[in-house]
Amino acid sequence: MAIDYQAILETIYQEVQPLLSQGRVARYIPELSKVSAQHFGMAVFCLDGRRFTVGDAQTKFSTQSVTKLFALSLAFEREGDAIWERVGREPSGNPFNSLSQLEYERGIPRNPFINAGALVINDILAQRFAQADMAVLQFMRVLADDQKIDFDRDVALSEQRHAHRNTAIAHLMKDFGNLRNPVDVVIASYCRQCAITMSCEELAKAGSFLANHGSIPWNGTQILDYSSAKRLSALMLTCGTYDVAGDFAFRVGLPAKSGVGGGILALVPGELTVVVWSPGLDAAGNSLAGVMALERFTTLTGRSIF
């Protein structure tokens, strides 16, 4: 029996309405604090080309840490397993912007999805491309089949002006020899990368290559081989939702990557991608309504990896 995804999205949309006032938008990036917490959008992109949306699914938002997934995919596609010499593959168990763990692990970030790890990935890309942030942007344009996707320059500038902790992280890794490019270059590039804006619908399409085991579903272009796509999906499951990845796996049961802009990209391998956006965050920095929406999605569809 075919799943009525549209009806399920509309049910979820109604169920999460009371949660929209309970989360708090990110305030440490002033430009993000201007976004209303009342937004909610959700999009499903099936590998056979079907699409389903509800709410603000066409509204562009700051993808923030969701871009770490695409930067990692690009770095892994270019460098392969060499990247694991500079960044680990374990859950951090600490906040995404923690310095303490980095200190006693001598500048090697625990995984690519915490800020320290994302800075190393950006540094790796800067050794391959003239501008790492432009390389990530162009990569995401190709994956979404949309050349109009761009940065929000106000968000990028706001983030760069308040990047004190990320700058400290970068300097610490530089001191341990795990950052090759100048700190200010890496920080500026990382802030622009995080300021890429997309809608739920665009982001779901861009992430579909991972659900399709590494190849773009509508043209067959191979981005990653099957094994590499599997490994990145495993990292999403164990590390993609900050220091509550275990609880997210327990509740939702899908590989996912979240961002403090309120977006979450999740995969049902071999079937679809689903993206939700709601700017109000929980204490860990994940979208409060978004996590509940994805939990309800896997419950109502009966689709998870377990």
pLDDT value for 154 = 95
pLDDT value for 28 = 86
Whether pTM exceeds 0.75: yes
What residues act catalytically?
65, 68, 190, 242, 260
Q: What is the pLDDT of residues 178-192, one digit of tens each?
A: 999 999 999 999 999
CB 292 within 8 A of CB 19: yes
Tell me how far the alpha carbon of residue 226 is from its chain's centroid. 20
Give yes or no for residue 1 having a pLDDT over 80.
no
More confident residue, 232 or 94: 232
Give yes or no for residue 235 having a pLDDT over 70.
yes
pLDDT value for 97 = 66
272-286: average pLDDT? 96
Sorted by sequence, the CB contacts under 8 Å of residue 61 that are 6+ apart come out as 35, 39, 197, 198, 199, 261, 262, 263, 277, 279
CA nearest neighbour of 204 among 284, 268, 118, 160: 268
Crossing angle for the helix pair 115-126 and 67-79, to the nearest 10 degrees? 50
What pLDDT band is residue 304 in, cutting at 50, 70 and 90?
very high
Domain with CATH 3.40.710.10 in the chain: 5-64+197-301, 66-194
Give yes or no for residue 125 having a pLDDT over 80.
yes
pLDDT value for 95 = 65
Is the domain covering 66-194 a CATH 3.40.50.450 domain? no
151-172: average pLDDT? 94
What pLDDT band is residue 162 in, cutting at 50, 70 and 90?
very high
Sorted by sequence, the CB contacts under 8 Å of residue 43 that are 6+ apart come out as 51, 52, 53, 54, 57, 199, 200, 201, 203, 204, 274, 275
Other CB atoms within 10 A of residue 34 CB:
12
At the fourth CATH level, which superfamily is domain 5-64+197-301? Answer: DD-peptidase/beta-lactamase superfamily (3.40.710.10)
CB 213 within 8 A of CB 229: yes
Mean pLDDT of the chain: 95
